[in-house]
Amino acid sequence: MGKTTIGTSAQPEEGPQPTGGMEPPRPTAELAGRRFFCSWSGGKDAYLSLSRAIAAGGRPEALLCMLHEDGGCSRGHGLPLALLEGQAAAVGIALVTRATTWDEYEATYVSALHELRERGVEAGVFGDIDLQAHRDWVERVCEAAGLVCHLPLWQEPRRRLIDELLASGVRATVVAVDAAKLDASFLGRELTAELVAELEVAGADACGEEGEYHTMVTEAPLFTKSAPLAWDGHVSRDGHWILGFSMPVAEVEVDSRREQEHR
Share of the chain above pLDDT 90, in %: 76
pLDDT per residue as tens digits for the range 120-171: 999 999 999 998 999 999 999 999 999 999 999 999 999 999 999 999 999 9
Confidence bin at 14 (pLDDT 50/70/90): very low
User: Sign of torsion, CA 175 97 44 153?
Assistant: positive
User: Closest Cα to residue 71, out of 58, 85, 60, 57?
Assistant: 85
In the predicted model, is pLDDT for residue 255 greater than 70?
no
Distance CA 134, CA 217 (A): 22
pLDDT per residue as tens digits for the range 210-242: 899 999 999 999 999 999 899 999 999 888 999
Q: Indicate the range of 73-77, 131-135, 185-189, 249-253 predicted with least confidence.
A: 249-253
In the predicted model, is pLDDT for residue 188 greater than 60?
yes
| Annotation: CATH topology of 33-245 | Rossmann fold (3.40.50)
pLDDT at 103: 94
pLDDT at 20: 37
| pTM score of the predicted model | 0.84
The per-residue pLDDT of the chain, averaged, comes to: 85
The domain ranges of the chain are 33-245
pLDDT at 75: 85
* Phi (first) and psi of residue 150, to 5 degrees: -130, 135
Distance of CA 181 to the CA centre of its chain: 20
